[in-house]
Structure 1
């Protein structure tokens, strides 16, 4: 039996329509599976969200507790800071008091040190001025040298930097005094006293030498002639008096020949007065007057004394040495030391 196209198409329709219910079943089951899967996922998500919520709640609670603890710690820290600030302020106040007390103590020590230095400076200055006056009165530099050495040792023991210029000035003045050519007043006074003692033994130019009379006496005693008669003794005594009236000797200065024996005493006294005036001039620091008196005494001795006499030579040498010593310079002033002491006392 042959089939036609119509039959074929009619027979094919039932075959093609048979899988439709199957697809629909699969679609339902797929939808159910998807729904179940979505439900499962929703449940899982819900559980996860619940756990997240719980965790967030716990974290929030923990955070709140930590926040409370942090607030408590912050409050405690704030109180500690306030306490520390109060203590720090107290410590700073005490430190300020200590610093103030330290400053006052340093000022006190500095004032004590300054007063000690000032007392030392004033003491040294007064000692130097007293030694200078003593040296001017005595004419000797030994008091100045001793005082300068003592002042130098005291400044060295003080060991103060502000007194270093004073020490240098003292050393310079000490060196200058050691090398200075200063006349020795005590030595000059002793020499003048020796000159006054020599005046009485001066042999004047018109005076009979005691050696000639002594030799004549010794010759007469050595010959021991027989005792003369009374008229011979009287004649010899008269002859001696006549010989005393006339004496021949060499006199260099014509003024000495006109000097009578009685005026010899006044001449010696005049020389003594010249020497004593020179002595007073030295004590009064009148060197020119003393030099003039010594020169006048030397002129008188050369004019009226016997140049061949040993005492005349000694007298002239003494007067010459005294004049040479008077040419020496005066005691040098201590201007450097006094200036340095004044600067140190002023605190500069």
Structure 2
């Protein structure tokens, strides 16, 4: 049996003809060079260097050649495929750089151009004023005390010497939580915070308590069912009405400038003696009284503005908190924050404070500050 005929001429395979392979390369290089984007280059790679490209199909035909002819054909197609892949790689680098530069040009931001900033919020005038009020007392060494808005009846009424049949406990004045017999309510004043401070803190005690309070009031231009108060409490040895008057005078000047205060006798269950505090009108300073030619809208030409209540802490309140009233005494005061903002800004309608209009807050913020 004779061996294989290694010396026979190779069978002609058209796809492996040198001129045909050169044509494949030229077509591939032309397609690569004409690609203007990475997407076009990707398509050119699939058509001229992919598994179904002419060069890939020609490479498969090498196996049909006699062994002696395979080396030359393999070298020829391998070199051709290498040239095409190099051209694709080089073109890919060029296109990536071009597209990056184009993206940088298209997405460039001119930092010198004027821009419209997003609108910013504003601190509510009531919040701003409460912060300012607290700052006055913190500067004097007082502490700021806070408590829950849902309160127990004992803290809100009993410990403050409010009698069980007092009108303030009625449904028309107080917002009780169902069922009412459980003795839970939305606090009608920030005074319960003072009771909690007396029970929880050591003496002497100097605290101011700002916060939200609730009453069964109508919702109109001068009344809100939810409003804000700021109350102060001092319990120490040797405290007198003179200390209270000096504190309120200092507080009034810090809030309204060079104004005077006056006290009128009044009655509160938790203070004895008690008084109402009036401010000298900080707009007309009393000049509008009896002067119809120069009326004052702020004080209604009365010369004084009712500000809040105050007095010496009732000994019964001290004893309810376990404090010896024979050793310690104190004073307390409270005023409405919402009305103070109205006074300072001549705001005509309390309802504007709860509408949430940012323009209203911005318009009053300068005055509240």
TM-score normalised by L of structure 2:
0.22
Higher-Rg member (1/2): 1
TM-score normalised by L of structure 1:
0.23
